[in-house]
Amino acid sequence: QSVLTQPPSVSGAPGQRVTISCTGSSSNIGAGYDVHWYQQLPGTAPKLLIYDNNNRPSGVPDRFSGSKSGTSASLAITGLQAEDEADYYCQSYDSGLSAYYVFGTGTKVTVL
């Protein structure tokens, strides 16, 4: 079961800014472990979008940015585009459970 909590859905018009929250606990995000984000387009495998809280792999547009504070993190998408419509998952490391890698519940981003 998911240990990190995300809103089920967010939406925005093209060009707008949307943010997705990711709330953890003292055994994962709050323990200092970094947060990573994945984008899953419909019918495809997840793809690394942000690593170590705010770093983008090569090829990921700078419209995507991440931040972390305390036991939470967030992903921001600025200048929303139709191709950004996808599911987004946060992920961290957890020292309190035997599930070393924990994922968020997932957020569906809809472009209106």
Partner 1 sequence: EVQLVESGGGLIQPGGSLRLSCAASGFTVSSNYMSWVRQAPGKGLEWVSVIYSTGNTYYADSVKGRFAISRDNSKNTLYLQMNSLRAEDTAVYYCARGTVYFFDYWGQGTLVTVSS
Residues that bind partner 1 (CB under 8 A): 1-2, 33-34, 36, 38, 44-48, 51-52, 57, 89, 91-93, 97-106
| DSSP state at residue 106 | -
Which one, of 34, 40, 74, lies nearest residue 49 by Cα? 40
Q: Are 81 and 14 in contact (CB under 8 A)?
A: yes
User: What is the number of other CB atoms lying within 10 angstroms of the CB of residue 16?
Assistant: 13
| DSSP state at residue 111 | E
- Least distance in angstroms from the C-beta of 57 to partner 1: 7
- Least distance in angstroms from the C-beta of 78 to partner 1: 23
Q: Which CB sits closer to partner 1, 15 or 91?
A: 91
- Least distance in angstroms from the C-beta of 79 to partner 1: 25
Q: Which CB sits closer to partner 1, 16 or 26?
A: 26
Q: Phi and psi at residue 31, in whole multiples of 5°?
A: -85, 0
- Least distance in angstroms from the C-beta of 97 to partner 1: 8
